[in-house]
Every structure is written in C-alpha cells, then in structure tokens.
Amino acid sequence: MTSGAVLRIAVFNGKGGCGKTTLAWNLAMGLGRRAATLLLDADPQGSLAYWAEWSGRDGIAVTVQEWGATMDAGPYAFVVTDCAPRLEAEELAEIVAGADLVLLPVLPSPLDLWASRRSADWIREQQERRPSLRAAFVLNQVEAQSALSRAAQVAIAELGLPVLQAALHRRAVYRSAALEGLSVYHMGKRASAAQAELESLIEEIVK
Ligand SMILES: Nc1ncnc2c1ncn2[C@@H]1O[C@H](COP(=O)(O)OP(=O)(O)OP(=O)(O)O)[C@@H](O)[C@H]1O
Ligand SMILES: [Mg+2]
C-alpha cells in the first residue's frame, strides 16, 4: 500500500471484547463520510466480513476487505485495520509496522486496563524503534456520568500511553447497529450522541 497522505490506523488490544471491531467499524464509517476509506478485517473470526461492500452506499465511501495479500492499494485517504485480540498474531507486527496510529480501546476498569498491559508494553517497544508511530487508548463503554476511578487513573498512568479525550460511552445503539449490519451513522437521531462522540474522536486524531 502506498503512503503519502494516507492515514493508517490500526485498532488493536490483545484483550478480547474491549470494542476493537465496534470502534474500527464506526470509525471507518465516520472517516468514509470525509474521504475514501478502506476497512481491513485482520481478525480470522471475520466479524466484519459479512458487512461486505460499503463503497458508495449512503454517500459513505468505505470498502471492507479481509486483511491479506489481495488488499486494494488505493487511492484511500484512510485505512483502518481491525486486529485480532492476540499479541501473537502473525500479521500484527506487519500491520503495526505499516500504521501511523494505533488505537487501543479499553474498558475503563482497573482490571481491563491491567489486562492491556502486555499490549501497551509491546506498542511502546514499537514506538522506541519508530518514534513517529502514534498510539493512544480509547476508553470504551464508559458509563454516563461516572468519573474514572482513582485506581483506573493510576493504571492508565502506569501503562505509559496517552488516552484520547474523546471516549465511547456504553450505548445500546452500538449493539443494535452491529446487529442490523449498520453503523451508528445509519441510525438517525437515536444515534446522534454516538455520532457526536465519534466525530470528536475523529477530530482529535485527524489533525
Ligand atoms: N460502546 C459500546 N456500547 C455498547 N456496547 C458495546 C460498546 N462497544 C462494544 N460493545 C459491545 O461489546 C461487545 C464486544 O465488542 P467488540 O466485538 O467490538 O469487541 P472486540 O474487541 O472486537 O472483541 P474481540 O476481541 O472478540 O475481537 C459487542 O457485543 C459490542 O456490541
Ligand atoms: Mg473484534
């Protein structure tokens, strides 16, 4: 894949079920409203595969493909890769080596944060080799009103990666959108809060 003005985002955390696919999918749809976006599914569970071909639908320019040898080379402004929840995954090093930014979704609980420790350590090692690699946690399934516990703040500080200001809250609309094969951008007004938090996230990472 060519570089240039392309922003390549890998969504990864070795901890399962933290929201990688939810973030990758909805983020790609938000980016696809701005410019041509390729969403790559690097998880052999293939949860994105059945969301199939999106390019052009509803004015959202997102192409969904499996990560692998036959990947489309562009022209894309954004490439988002949904990674498998395994630090040992063969393709992970290759994906991260080709990424500008790694987003690590994490639930805002001390236990989930500590379970992300090996992933955070590994990403920081990659940054030591390549300082231009950006990486940040994205808090996911945040409960309305609740502040981060002191223990969670300590855990985040010790993991040594920044946390995006924008967070995804726990919202039924993320689940129902996925069930219907849609993104929150296709759910109208009932998803406006979810759309707004994704837009904040996009503004934060696309600078
Ligand atoms: N912000 C959210 N609000 C409500 N439900 C959510 C949210 N984020 C994720 N979920 C739900 O949590 C579950 C796990 O999310 P998801 O599949 O995105 O995680 P994952 O990290 O991709 O999992 P895996 O490690 O298995 O690939 C799904 O049922 C999803 O719909
Ligand atoms: Mg997943």
pLDDT tens by residue, 38-62: 999 998 776 676 666 666 677 888 9
The 10s digit of each residue's pLDDT in 174-192 is: 999 988 888 999 999 999 9
Q: Determine the Cα–Cα distance for residues 157 and 153; give it in Å rounded to an integer.
A: 6
Cα 24 to Cα 174: distance, rounded to the nearest angstrom: 12
Query: Which ligand gives the minimal distance to the CA of 47?
Result: 2
Supply φ then ψ for residue 82, to 5 degrees.
-90, 115
- Measured CA distances, 29 to 32, 91, 101, 110 (Å): 5, 24, 17, 30
129 CA from centroid of ligand 1 (Å): 31
Protein residues whose CB sits closer than 6 Å to any atom of ligand 1: 16-22, 43, 85, 140-141, 168, 170-171, 174-175, 178
State yes or no: pLDDT of 1 exceeds 60: no
Work out which ligand 1 atom sits closest to the CA atom of 17. Answer: 23
Pairing of strands 7-11, 78-83: parallel
**Distances from the Cα of 137 to the Cαs of 23, 63, 134, 161, 203, in angstroms?**
12, 25, 11, 7, 16
Q: What is the mean pLDDT of the chain?
A: 90
Question: Which domains, ranges and CATH numbers included, belong to the chain?
Answer: 7-205 (3.40.50.300)
Torsion sign, CA atoms 6, 60, 44, 166 = positive
Q: Which atom of ligand 1 is nearest to the CA of 141?
A: 1
- Closest ligand 1 atom to residue 178 Cα is 31
* 49/169 Cα distance (integer angstroms): 25
pLDDT tens figures, 108-162: 999 999 999 999 999 999 999 999 999 999 999 999 878 888 888 899 999 999 9
Task: Give the whole-angstrom CA distance, residue 181 versus residue 166.
Answer: 24
Residue nearest to atom 14 of ligand 1 (CA): 17
Phi, psi of 39 (to 5 degrees): -110, 115
Report the sign of the C-alpha dihedral through residues 46, 48, 51, 53, in that order: negative
Contact 137, 159 (CB under 8 A): yes
